[in-house]
Structures are given as C-alpha cells and as structure tokens.
Amino acid sequence: MYNEKVLKIFENPKNAGLLKGANGVGKVGNMQCGDVMKVYVLVEHDKIKDAKFKTFGCVSAIASSDVACEMIKGKHLDDALKVTNKDVMEALGGLPPQKVHCSVLAQEAIEAAITDYKKSTEKKKK
C-alpha cells in the first residue's frame, strides 16, 4: 500500500516532537479518519528557522507531517505558504488515493501555524 520512502519517513521522522520557543502553532484534524496534526514553527525575520510536528494518525499522516516540516524550514513565510499538498505528495513519492487527505492536512497545518504566528505578532505590535 505504501511506497518504501513513505515507510522509511514514518519509521524515522526527523521533525517529530515539541519545538522549544515556537512562536506559531497550527492544529488541524479530519473527523472522518481521526487524524490530528499539530505543527510548530519558530519564525525569525519572517523566515521559518525550525518546524516540528506532533501527529496522531496513520502512516501517511505522520510521513506527510514530517515532510511538510522539512519543506518549510528556511523558507520565507510567503514561500512556505506556497507549499501545497501536491508538493508534499511528490516529496513522498506518492500516496494511495484514499490517503491524499493526509497531505491536505499537512498543508492546512502549515497555513494554520503561520496564521497563528502572524496573529501573535500583530497583537504584539498593538
């Protein structure tokens, strides 16, 4: 069902866990399958210095979270927001059709974390 790359990432995710000093957190979930993703970002000078995740879900959800975090590290916020679920799936070498929603959740979690960061910085400016 899963390709070798997806299984390898699932077994050894590089970006799993809490992120000390995170200044943006995005939490998303899918009620139908039960997957829940939480992405933490550390932003400095509008660039993502680091990203981590905690995911409750299947192989695809964990692999998608890990790859998405890796993809946004070092990117300007605007560029990180351009990362799509298709980019995540491509980086994974594909997902089974019934698991595409996991890559969508990863994209949504990134967007939510960046939105959270922007909201918190706007409040500090006031």
- Catalytic positions: 33, 102
Cα 55 versus chain centre, distance: 9
Q: Is 73 helix (H, G, I), strand (E, B) or coil?
A: coil
Largest CA-CA distance found in the chain, in angstroms, rounded: 51
Could you tell me which of 119, 85, 118, 124 has the C-alpha nearest to residue 102?
A: 85
Q: Indicate the helix (H) or strand (E) that contains 89.
A: helix 85-92
77 near 24, Cβ under 8 Å? no
